[in-house]
Structures are given as C-alpha cells and as structure tokens.
Structure 1
Amino acid sequence: MDWKVALGGWVVGLLIGLTGMGGGSVMTPMMIFLFHMHPALAVGTDLVYSCITKLAGTIQHVRQKTVDFRILGWMSLGSIPGALMGSLVVRYLEHQVAIDAADRVIGQMLGGMYILIVLAMAWRWWRKRRGTAPIAPGRVPRVALSVLGLAAGFLVGLTSVGSGALFVSVLAMISSLSASRLVGTDIAAGVLVTGVAGLAHLAFGNVDLRMVVSLLVGSVPGILMGSRLIVRVPEPVVRVGLMTLLSWSSYNLLK
C-alpha cells in the first residue's frame, strides 16, 4: 500500500464528489507528474480505476431509475468500438514507435484533450448562464448519438480522459435531460467505455494493479467527503480551480 498514492486518490475523489468530474482529468496528470509513470501506463491504470469507481454509482442510478437507457444504448454502439480503437492506437504506438517518441505523442494527445475539456467546461458554463435550451431527448437523432459516442470513446481509450467531461458535455449539448438523469446516464456510459478500454489496456500490460488498489483506498472516502461538502463550496470556485489545473497540465505536456 502506497499512502502517497492513496492521498492522491483522496484528492481526486474529493474533486469527483464536488463536481461530478475530475477523475481522468486529474488522475492521469497526477500519475505522470507526481508519480513519474509513463503516459501509456498512466492511461491504462486510470481506465481500470475509473471503471471500478463508476460501477457503484451506476448501480445506484439504475436503482433510482435515473439512467436513460435509450440514449445510453445508442451512444454505446459507437463508444465501445471507439474505446477499443483508441486502445489499439496506444498499443501500436508502444510497439511500432520508439518508447520515448511514443510517450511524447501520447503526452501531446493528453495535452490536447485537456485543452478541449477546458473549452467544453467554459462553453457549458456560458450556456448555463444564457439559459440556452437544448434538443428534447426524444428528438435526438440516433446516428448522431452513435457518432458522438464513437468519437468520445476513441478519445477515452486513447487518453483515459473524458469519460465524465466528454459525455456530460455531449449530453448537455444534444438533450434536455434532467440533472439527475444526465449524471446517471453519463456515469453508466463511463462504466462501459472505461471497462472495455481498461480490459484492453490490461491485456496489453498497461495497468499497475497495485496503484489501482492504493488509489481506491483514498478515493472512496474522498468521494464521500466531497459529496457532503458540495452544498458548502461554491461551484464556480471548484470549476475554476479544475480548469486552471487542466490548463497547467496541458502546458507542461505540450511544451
């Protein structure tokens, strides 16, 4: 048991409890910059960790009937093969390109993803302030759901980032789901895509299972604490902090 890793897991869990986001967005750069893991190993470890943490939430949301299975099904038609494709690209880079070059390419992809997520968070914040009405759930085109799922799944399998931020952003853009059903559908979609991609990375040897255990030891109490603090800490403070951290991580990965 590595207590430094567990402490890092607690910090990430606290962010997830406060914002519903921050898992892959913070976990992967933490493993790269603080624990000096290779990007490919950090990606695989984060995917397995994310799948386990989201599974309990999915079970609870299914019991509460806050999962839209129609949207989940059509998105999963794209996101599951997309996650496999992204994982295979990582595998290809590891074996067909020099290790240092592969780490650099994956790091640059991560940096690009962080920029996209910061922009998506800012866009959602702006739309929320304007009160723009999205498309009603029943009118969302099925093909659009699958195509968006394919793109999001590919990026998650490639970088481990975005199973929360990407799916929430996509669903917020194209549907008018209630907050509870938006979160529930997002978490269920995240379990599927991180589970598939995580198994692929595990088969490729890109998962540190001991680190997964240490992260879970810290993140579970962190999530519980964050969930209680959410009513006391202003959401804009947490969002700005998360966006600042992502911007800093992006700068360090792309420079």
Structure 2
Amino acid sequence: MEWIILVLIGIGASSLGSLIGLGGGIIVVPALLYLGTLTGFEHMTPQVAAGTSLFTMIFTGMSSTLAYMKHKTVDYKSGLIFLIGSGPGSILGAWVTEKLNLHSFNIFFGLFILLVSIVLMLKEKLKPIPYRKDKGIIRTFTDNTGKSFEYGFSPLMGIVISAIVGFLSGILGVGGGSLMVPTMILVFFFPPHVAVATSMFMILPTSILSSITHVILGNVNWMYALALVPGAWIGAKIGVYLNTKINSKTIVIILRAILVIVAIRLIYQGIMG
C-alpha cells in the first residue's frame, strides 16, 4: 500500500512539475514529511525529504527533457547560459542558509513570490529588458496555436539574473524552477512553453549535482526513492503531453496559482517556525 501511495505522489508531482517547469519537489517534500508522521511509514526528517525529492527529480528532469526535445521547445543555448549563473548561485545560497534566520526570511520571500504571481497577471502591460540585437541572443518560436514569438537577452544580464535567482532558490530550497520560469517569462519574455521546457532541461544537471551531496550525507531514503522514481518518469511524460496541448495563457494561469500556493506555504512556515 505504501508503495502505491508513493508511486501516485511521484506521478502527481512530476506531472505538475513538468507541465509548468517546477520539477515537482514543491509537492514531494511536504508529502514525504506528512507521510513520515503516519503509521506504516518511516519517520522522515526535512533533510531526508529534500534529498529523496532531489534524487527523484533527476528522473523527472531526464524524462521531461527527452520528451520536450521531441517537441523542439528546449532552448539549449539559453539554458546553458542561465546554468552558468544559477549553478554557483544555488550552491552559495545553500551555504548561506546555515547563517540566516530563515523564519522571517520565509515570510518576506513568500510575500515576494505573491508579488511575482500578481505581476504575471499584468504581464501583457510589461516591456522586456532592452538588449542589443547585434550583441544579444535572439530566438524565435511558434507555439501550437501558430502564434510566433521573438525574444532575446544579453548573455551577461542572463548570467547575473539567473545567479540571483539560483541564490534565492538555494537559500529556500524551493527549486530553481519556482523562480526561473517566471523570470524567463517576465524578464526575458520567453514564450511560456519554451520557458517550461528550458527550466526542465536546467533542472536535470542541478538535481544531479545536488543529489550527489545528499547521497554522500546519507540524506536519501532509497526505499522511498525507488517507489517515487517510476511515478516521476511516467508523470513527466504526462506533464509534457498536457503542456503541448494547453495554450500559453493557461500555462501562465496554472503557474500563477502554484506560485500563490508556494508563497502561502513559505509564509506559514515562517510564522509557525
């Protein structure tokens, strides 16, 4: 029975994660912590929940990336540029976590994510950060409705902003996609489909690197991980399929709703902690 519950959690978290580019950890971690309080399940510490979740996200990222590659929605060049900033930023953020009072920070960060979700509502009225087309990265994309998008950014600006996003994500352990997807949509005006697929491509190497640390520290519950992985692989395929069938505005609406849930959770943790 425990295995069935864990497989279903893996499917649900991974479906949602790959649909909007968040990876699924935002659901897996609280679900594992809750299960750890029930009879029949092993006691679960936050560290083991995070480590086990990150390990399963390797398979969510791999499955999603392979599927998005077929649909040609992954912007590899932009993703690798963002990783130059977000990789070191997330490592530094994880290190700084040890030095901070996280309770008040969680409240402020939750309020910040609420603000991001409100800004996503007003997205149409925003203008992208200006960049020189002769020196920046230019991309075009046509979505499933036939609508064409042109977007781009300065590589240096991309690295700096993704480093800040990675740093904040590392501090809070909310997963880079929680902030990187809205950043790509709001700051660099990525089409939502491309932002989601590129985020999942970035989640793959970052979750591998983070998992190595957690495996060394003994923060992975292998029994739970083996139950979650099949669900994560299947769920990622479902999420990608749904993403290709849903239009851009719907993806932004779903993303906004999830950001509100993440924000409320962070504020709650800050107040109760």
User: TM-score with structure 2 length normalisation?
Assistant: 0.70
The two structures, once aligned, show a CA RMSD in angstroms of 3.5
**Distance in 1 between residues matched to 2:21 and 2:256, nearest whole Å:** 14
Which residue number corresponds to residue 12 of structure 2? 11
Superposition pairs of residues 127-142 of structure 1, within 5 angstroms = 127=123, 130-135=124-129, 137-138=137-138, 140-142=153-155
Q: Indicate how the Cα distance of structure 1 residues 17 and 198 shifts in structure 2: closer, same or farther if over 3 A, else same.
A: closer
**Distance in 2 between residues matched to 1:107 and 1:220, nearest whole Å:** 34
Structure 2 residues without counterparts, runs of 5 or longer: 38-43, 132-136, 139-151
Tell me which of 67, 73, 81 is aligned to 1:74.
81
Q: Percent identity?
A: 22
Q: Does 1:38 align with 2:45?
A: yes
Contact in 2 for aligned 1:18/1:238 (Cα 8 Å):
no
- Number of aligned pairs? 242
Q: Which is helix-richer, 1 or 2?
A: 1
Structure number with greater Rg is 2
Which residue number corresponds to residue 63 of structure 2? 56
Q: Which is strand-richer, 1 or 2?
A: 2
**Which whole-Å deviations, capped at 9, do the CAs of 1:17-65 have from their partners, x for residues lacking one?**
5544461222222223443532222222222222221112223334544
Q: Indicate how the Cα distance of structure 1 residues 154 and 107 shifts in structure 2: closer, same or farther if over 3 A, else same.
A: same
Which residue number corresponds to residue 262 of structure 2? 246
State which drifts further: 157-166 or 45-54: 157-166
Which residue number corresponds to residue 189 of structure 2? 176
Q: Indicate how the Cα distance of structure 1 residues 177 and 248 shifts in structure 2: closer, same or farther if over 3 A, else same.
A: closer
SS of the residue aligned with 2:226? helix
Quote how far apart the aligned CAs of 1:241 are.
5.3
SS of the residue aligned with 2:122? helix
Q: Indicate how the Cα distance of structure 1 residues 198 and 116 shifts in structure 2: closer, same or farther if over 3 A, else same.
A: farther
SS of the residue aligned with 1:8? helix
Superposition pairs of residues 1-255 of structure 1, within 5 angstroms = 2-16=3-17, 18-21=19-22, 23-36=24-37, 37-89=44-96, 93=98, 113-127=109-123, 130-135=124-129, 137-138=137-138, 140-225=153-238, 238=254, 242-243=258-259, 245-255=261-271
Contact in 1 for aligned 2:110/2:264 (Cα 8 Å):
no
SS of the residue aligned with 1:182? helix
**Which whole-Å deviations, capped at 9, do the CAs of 1:78-97 have from their partners, x for residues lacking one?**
2222233334456xx4xxx9
State which drifts further: 202-211 or 28-37: 28-37
Quote how far apart the aligned CAs of 1:140 are.
2.0
User: TM-score with structure 1 length normalisation?
Assistant: 0.74
